[in-house]
Amino acid sequence: MPAVFRAVLARFDSNELMARKSSHSPCIDLWPKQAFEEEVQRRVASLDPFAPDYEKQVRRLVANVHPLQPDAEGRVVLPRELIEKAGLDGEIVYSGRIKFFQIWNAARWREAQEADEAEDAA
């Protein structure tokens, strides 16, 4: 993990990450544990626990989340399931997202950037 992202983790006074497949992009989201828990609590607080779709909404937030602990060098072992879903094979890109960051397959990252630029130009 790049030093700049380790520095962000240090600001959260935590070395623990929560990893999950992104809901919107072909990549992995990595959250500082505290920030992830706060975001889940914020979203769950507005849900009615007796509503028919409550379980589905909560499951979308917390199912298949993997807690990770970087080693002293800032390395983490990503679960094979996430690696495969994100297509991480070869070069990767880290991308900051204010509260969390993402790990992308570099080719997919470039494709997403080009698509964003084409959409902005239209």
Could you give the count of Cα atoms lying within 13 Å of 35 in the half-sphere of its Cβ?
21
Distance CA 26, CA 38 (A): 24
Q: How far is CA 34 from CA 29, 69, 111, in A?
A: 14, 13, 31
Could you give phi then psi for residue 26, rounded to 5 degrees?
-80, 70
What confidence score (pLDDT) does residue 118 get?
A: 86
What confidence score (pLDDT) does residue 122 get?
A: 74
The model carries a pTM of 0.85
Give the lowest-confidence range in 9-23, 30-44, 54-68, 83-97.
9-23
Distance CA 40, CA 50 (A): 18
Q: With cut-offs at 50, 70 and 90, classify the pLDDT of residue 105.
A: very high
What mean pLDDT is predicted for residues 84-112? Answer: 92
Q: How far is CA 116 from CA 9, 22, 102, 107, in A?
A: 28, 17, 17, 14
CATH of domain 3-121: 3.40.1550.20
Residue with tokens 């900051």: 96
Q: For 71-90, how does the pLDDT look when each residue is reduced to its tens digit (9 = 90+)?
A: 888 888 999 999 999 999 99
Domain boundaries, the chain: 3-121
